[in-house]
Amino acid sequence: MHVVVCGALVENGAVLLVHRSPTRRAYPDLWDLPGGHVEAGESELQALAREMHEELGVHIVAESSSRLGDLHGGSGEDAVHVGVWQIRDWVGSPTNRAPEEHDDIAWVEISELGGLPLVFGALPALLRSLPEPDRLPRRDEARTTASPSGP
């Protein structure tokens, strides 16, 4: 079984999604949260911090991260266990630093997730379960971000 983590960067009622390249072996041409495999000797939070930096160029504030839940997919050798984390605070503006993995990134309103082709159909319900204060603008107003937009 593959152990994977992904992070939900949520701001102004929108979540940052990555579009998996059509050439990817697993889950091609679908929208997903950024993340990746937990490497040997890493905790999920360490893997999450590494993946967010590698894929988006942001540094997460570990204390602002909390586990939202778990998702499961595939079977046999392709079985995957995904730990989903909410990231409330990060440093830097997300950019696509892994164009070989993702051909696009976009801020998507949480209310609009159901209309997208997603890796995990349970993702919209998981993100809608966030408390309302977590959908408000972040306190770190000095940081510049892209404005929310659909794919």
In tens, the pLDDT along 6-40 reads: 999 999 889 999 999 999 988 999 999 999 999 99
Give the pLDDT mean for 129-141.
55
**Structure tokens that stand for 72 in this block:** 């499961």
Pairing label, strands 14-20, 102-109 = antiparallel
Which of the four pLDDT bands, split at 50, 70 and 90, describes residue 130? confident
